[in-house]
Structures are given as structure tokens and as C-alpha cells.
Structure 1
Amino acid sequence: MKQPELVFYSRSRCPLCDKAKSVLMDLKKEYEFKLIEKDIDESDDLTEKYGLMIPVVEINGREVQFGHIDPITVSEALTEKN
């Protein structure tokens, strides 16, 4: 089975992003997934799209959660069948 691809949109100086990254690192110990981190401040398009939503977790191209990242919601999305 192909590993899920999780894209984590964040920016520097973002306390919610730091907490979310910690949640994702904990989940990485339990689940296999490819983690791609994107700093929205490096792209005008990403800043426009996610500026007020960060952090954002996207799994296999689908936005799963934004703002407060909950480990249960993300783990359920990682294990659901596509």
C-alpha cells in the first residue's frame, strides 16, 4: 500500500504551527506517511490561500484540518481507505 502524503502548511513565528508540528512528529512514530512541509511565506499564492488558516494539514491532496491540529482527526484521515 502506498504511503499517504501529508503536506503541512505553516510559517515561522506561529505558535499554533509549532504545536501542530509536534503533533505530527508524534504521529510519525505511530504511522507511516510522507511529510512535506511548506512555508506559506515563501509563495504569494500559498500566503493568499492559507494566510488566515495556518497551520493546515492536507493528506493526499485533501485538506483535513486547519488551525488547531487534533491528533485523532489526523490519525483517522491517515488510516481511512481512499
Structure 2
Amino acid sequence: MSDDTPVLMPELTLFQRDDCHLCDLALEVLAAARSPEFESVFIDEDDGLEARYGIRVPVLRDEARGLELDWPFDVEGVLRFLAR
């Protein structure tokens, strides 16, 4: 008998900036961690996001759980964050 219950994947958002070296590094870490798909949101032109994330980017946010992982993070940190 098979279980047809859908597996819920995290709804992830990566808050970042244009021309951001740390954001490029974060993308490399997420790729190495084989992160689920995520939405990239650039904060440069949004005053609200700039106020919230300005000095913190890159930030990985799990929208469903309301959790955020601030830079710096590594592969192990991303895996722990996703497993919480």
C-alpha cells in the first residue's frame, strides 16, 4: 500500500542584493547543500525590505515556518536549518 501524502517542501526565499559578493557565495553554498528551489528577492529597490534586511543580506527565509538563516552560513548550517 502506498502513501499518497504529499511531502511538503520548505517554501524558501533568499533575500539578496544586485552585485553582492556574499550573495554569490550564498548561492554557491545553497547549490552545494542541494537546497530545494527558492525564490530570489532583491532588496535594492524596496524600502521596507531594505530596512529589514539591509545589513543582513544574504538571508535565507523559510516562509512556512517564519524562520531565517542569516549569513554567514555553510552547507552544514543550511542542512540543519532545513531539517528543523
On whether the aligned pair clears a TM of 0.5, the verdict is: yes
Question: Kindly, what percent of the aligned residue pairs are identical?
Answer: 33
Larger strand fraction of residues: 1
Residue 74 (1) aligns with residue 74 (2): no
CA distance in 1, matches of 2:41, 2:31: 15
Q: Is the 8 A contact 1:55 1:69 kept in 2?
A: no
Q: Does 1:62 align with 2:73?
A: no
Q: Give CA deviations for 1:35-72 in whole Å, capped at 9, x if unaligned.
A: 11100113111011100111111123211x21212221
Q: Which amino acid aligns with 2:54?
A: G
Greater C-alpha radius of gyration: 2
1:35 aligns with 38
How many residue pairs match? The answer is 76
Structure 1 unaligned regions, length at least 5: none
- What's the TM-score, normalizing by structure 2? 0.79
Match of 1:41, SS state, is coil
Unpaired segments ≥5 residues, structure 2: 1-6
Separation of aligned partners in 1, 2:42 and 2:73: 17
Counterpart of 1:62, as a letter, is L
Question: 2:14 aligns to what?
Answer: 8
